[in-house]
Amino acid sequence: MAAKLKIGIIGMSEGNGHPYSWAAIFNGYNKNEMSRCPFPVIPEYLSQQIFPDDFLTHRAEVSHIWTQNVEVTKHIALCSNIPNICNTIEEMVSNVDAVLLARDDAENHLKYAKPVLKAGIPIYIDKPFALNTTDADKLLNLAKHPNQIFTCSALQFAEEFQLINLDLAKIGAIKSISAMVPKSWEKYAVHIIEPVLNLIPERGNIKSIERIKTEVKDIISVQVNWTSEITANFQTFGKLGAPLSIRIVGTEGYKDLYIKDTYSAFKSALNRFLDVIEDHEPNISREFTMEMIQILEKGQYA
């Protein structure tokens, strides 16, 4: 039996609990310590899983961790059973097979990913990969091989958002999609853009991207048209309450999709990362990622 992969994890950015949850998906977790995690939803959904059956313990372990705050590092390590705390990212890189950059502050991705990329180590870069195509190109140009960088919103792997769940016989030909998500455009629009792109694989090329003016300052709305004559509208609602949802409208009807199980989506994305670096599955195409960033970039400017 092949030895399990050793993974390092880099964290953490404000409001993002992925260092806790991603590490726990591989390592299991300390129930008492995780109860003090600053993101209550994480111990809640972890408690609904069966260990080790519902985890990825058989495939890899998060063996090393670094964050910019030593006390935070120690707490994540205790919560998610991470045995080694690193003083630098360079120290981590020399001891692991792959790295999870579990920060969603895209403006800092290049800084934290650079030593990993220069070392030739595979890296999963948390969403959003970049906020503009210029920064995306800088990251991609540092990759030493095509599969070194893996990046996505885990929600593109959510079971609820898969094309197989659409009854196209009832919906008919897809013509319009409306997707919404709470919180900021910069960090959360990716959660609806990528699943929508997956749901319309025959969309063709982008014809136009336009930010639509709204009367409510918290709402950002971007409309995209493709050569297939499919139109999508993506909206983020800032601090306003809104469900993460996607409405698919076709020539014969419509269907609403909602996310229910984020844990399984995270697990599926992490599993795909391992499949990519072990050459079991293809990577997400660079064209797909760059199309997402084109849409994301447009929404940042009125």
> Residues 109, 101: contact at Cβ < 8 Å?
yes
Is the confidence at residue 182, as pLDDT, over 80? yes
Asked whether residue 300 is assigned to any structural domain, the reply reads no
> How many Cβ atoms sit within 10 Å of the Cβ of residue 96?
25
User: Where does the pLDDT of residue 241 fall: very low under 50, low under 70, confident under 90, or very high at 90 and above?
Assistant: confident
Q: Which of 2, 14, 3, 48 minimizes the C-alpha distance to 24?
A: 48
Predicted local distance difference test score (pLDDT) of residue 302: 57
Going 100 to 291 to 198 to 213, the CA torsion angle's sign is positive
Query: In the chain, pLDDT over 90 holds for what percent of residues?
Result: 93
The domain that holds 145 is classified in CATH as 3.40.50.720
Is the confidence at residue 1, as pLDDT, over 80? no
The residues near 18 (Cβ < 8 Å, ≥ 6 apart) are 11, 12, 100, 102, 103, 104, 126, 266
Q: Which of 88, 87, 91, 96 minimizes the C-alpha distance to 23?
A: 96
Q: Per-residue pLDDT tens for 139-168?
A: 999 999 999 999 999 999 999 999 888 889
Residues 193, 145, single domain; the answer is no
Residues 171, 87, single domain; the answer is no
Q: Which of 250, 271, 251, 268 minimizes the C-alpha distance to 259?
A: 268
User: Where does the pLDDT of residue 2 fall: very low under 50, low under 70, confident under 90, or very high at 90 and above?
Assistant: low
Residues paired with residue 125 on neighbouring β-strands, in sequence order: 101, 151
Asked whether residue 292 is assigned to any structural domain, the reply reads no
Render 34-54 in DSSP notation, one character per residue: HTT-S-THHHHHHTTSPTTTT
User: Where does the pLDDT of residue 215 fall: very low under 50, low under 70, confident under 90, or very high at 90 and above?
Assistant: confident
Q: Which of 38, 105, 26, 96 minimizes the C-alpha distance to 66?
A: 96
- Containing structural domain, residue 211: 159-260
* Helix (H) or strand (E) segment spanning residue 86: none
Is the confidence at residue 100, as pLDDT, over 80? yes
Q: Per-residue pLDDT tens for 126-143?
A: 999 999 999 999 999 999
Is the confidence at residue 62, as pLDDT, over 60? yes
Query: In the chain, pLDDT over 70 holds for what percent of residues?
Result: 99
The residues near 120 (Cβ < 8 Å, ≥ 6 apart) are 144, 145, 148
- pTM for the model stands at 0.96
The domain that holds 184 is classified in CATH as 3.30.360.10
Asked whether residue 301 is assigned to any structural domain, the reply reads no
Residues 203, 237, single domain; the answer is yes
Share the mean pLDDT of the chain.
96
Residues 136, 60, single domain; the answer is yes
CA distance 236 to 183: 6
Residue 177 phi, psi dihedral angles, 5° rounding = -135, 135
Going 23 to 152 to 277 to 281, the CA torsion angle's sign is positive
Q: Per-residue pLDDT tens for 4-28?
A: 999 999 999 999 999 999 999 999 9
Strand order in the sheet with 149-151: 84-85, 60-66, 5-10, 98-101, 123-125, 149-151
Distances (CA, A) of 21 to 53, 189, 287: 16, 21, 29
Is the confidence at residue 65, as pLDDT, over 90? yes
